[in-house]
């Protein structure tokens, strides 16, 4: 294997999941309260795009960054996890601006209810978007898997996607934010050359033959001005996300398997409180 070469600079990656119509969070991607916080409503997403466009240049792709063709000193990348059917609408909204993004697909779910089909994936690739692996099974705690199982998840998913798009797939994103250096080493062994994590950092790192990139999360509640500020590398929002992420990562280790269940319960409570507040105000 040849070690990957990349520009010695930082970049910003914004991590989205599904873009959905108001009140239709169950239509695309994973369902339930644990997934709901990551689903941005379409109108808010359009405001995100408008705000980002007013602050920065056209988003780049990993191919452009690795060939130093992206232009700016701090390029912006857009990614969309989980392979929900909303990817098709999302791609159209991006293409209206001449933008392209990265779509990460858990291959065991291709063609199932709420997830993209093989034809969808091929169409996205043909239209210039980057298709990447999001593992096969979207395991709930990827960092606890054996090295052999990790390599299998990355290799099989990349092979499936490669057959769909007609060329090698060597870009991936870690599902669930459960990243460790072992996850990256397994990705490298499976032929992945660029691996996105959920670590909210701008720096690039290299593990074995794999370039590791952090991302800043975009939530259902993320204001457009915060998305725009992060897209330009503003330190304030970036530091806040980093602190929140460190606390969240520690909780994942301490709480273990109950983490997602507790998080979903807290989100549901917050949703009920917000609904009560709005009702009382109206």
For position 214, which CATH number holds? 3.20.20.370
For residue 126, tell me if it sits in a domain: yes
Residue 239 CB neighbour total at 10 angstroms: 11
pLDDT at 198 over 70: yes
Q: What is the largest CA-CA distance in the chain?
A: 63
For residue 71, tell me if it sits in a domain: yes
- CB-based contacts of 91-100 (< 8 A; 24+ apart in sequence): 91/124, 91/127, 91/129, 93/19, 93/42, 93/45, 93/46, 93/49, 94/49, 94/129, 95/127, 97/49, 97/53, 97/58, 98/58, 99/49, 99/58, 99/59, 100/59, 100/61, 100/127, 100/128, 100/129, 100/130
For residue 7, tell me if it sits in a domain: no
Mean pLDDT over residues 199-206, rounded? Answer: 90
Range of the domain at 125: 12-281
Residue 68 CB neighbour total at 10 angstroms: 12
For residue 264, tell me if it sits in a domain: yes
CA atoms within 13 A on the CB side of 181: 4
For residue 4, tell me if it sits in a domain: no
Tokens 């169950």, residue located? 26
pLDDT at 71 over 80: no
Q: How many domains does the chain contain in total?
A: 1
Task: Evaluate whether 107 touches 117 at the Cβ level (below 8 Å).
Answer: no
For residue 235, tell me if it sits in a domain: yes
Tokens 């109206």, residue located? 282
For residue 2, tell me if it sits in a domain: no
Greater pLDDT, 241 or 274: 241
Task: Indicate the pTM of the whole model.
Answer: 0.86
Please tell me whether residue 101 adopts helix, strand or coil conformation: coil
Predicted pLDDT at 235: 82
For residue 148, tell me if it sits in a domain: yes
Which tens digit of pLDDT belongs to each residue from 251-279?
656 555 555 555 455 445 544 554 454 35
């Amino acid at each position: 294997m040849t070690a990957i070469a990349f520009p010695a600079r930082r970049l910003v990656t914004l991590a989205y999941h599904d873009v959905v119509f108001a009140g239709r969070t169950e239509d695309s991607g994973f369902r339930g309260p644990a997934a709901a916080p990551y689903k941005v409503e379409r109108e808010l997403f359009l405001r995100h795009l408008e705000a980002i466009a007013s602050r920065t240049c056209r988003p780049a792709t990993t191919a452009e960054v690795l060939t130093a063709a992206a232009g700016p000193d701090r390029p912006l990348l857009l990614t969309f996890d989980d392979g929900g059917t909303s990817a098709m609408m999302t791609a159209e909204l991006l293409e209206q601006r001449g933008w392209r993004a990265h779509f990460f697909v858990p291959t065991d779910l291709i063609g199932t209810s709420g997830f993209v089909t093989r034809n969808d994936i091929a169409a996205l690739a043909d239209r210039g978007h980057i298709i990447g692996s999001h593992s096969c099974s979207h395991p709930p705690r990827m960092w606890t898997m054996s090295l052999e199982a990790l390599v299998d998840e990355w290799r099989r998913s990349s092979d499936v996607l490669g057959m769909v798009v007609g060329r090698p797939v060597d870009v991936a994103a870690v599902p669930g934010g459960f990243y460790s250096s072992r996850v990256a080493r397994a990705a490298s062994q499976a032929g992945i050359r660029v691996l996105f994590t959920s670590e909210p950092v701008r720096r690039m790192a290299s593990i074995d033959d794999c370039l590791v990139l952090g991302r800043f999360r975009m939530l259902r509640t993320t204001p457009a001005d915060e998305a725009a500020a992060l897209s330009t590398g503003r330190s304030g929002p970036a530091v806040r996300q980093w602190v929140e992420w460190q606390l969240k990562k520690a909780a994942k280790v301490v709480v273990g398997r109950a983490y997602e269940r507790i998080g979903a319960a807290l989100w549901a409570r917050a949703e009920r409180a917000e609904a009560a507040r709005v009702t009382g105000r109206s």
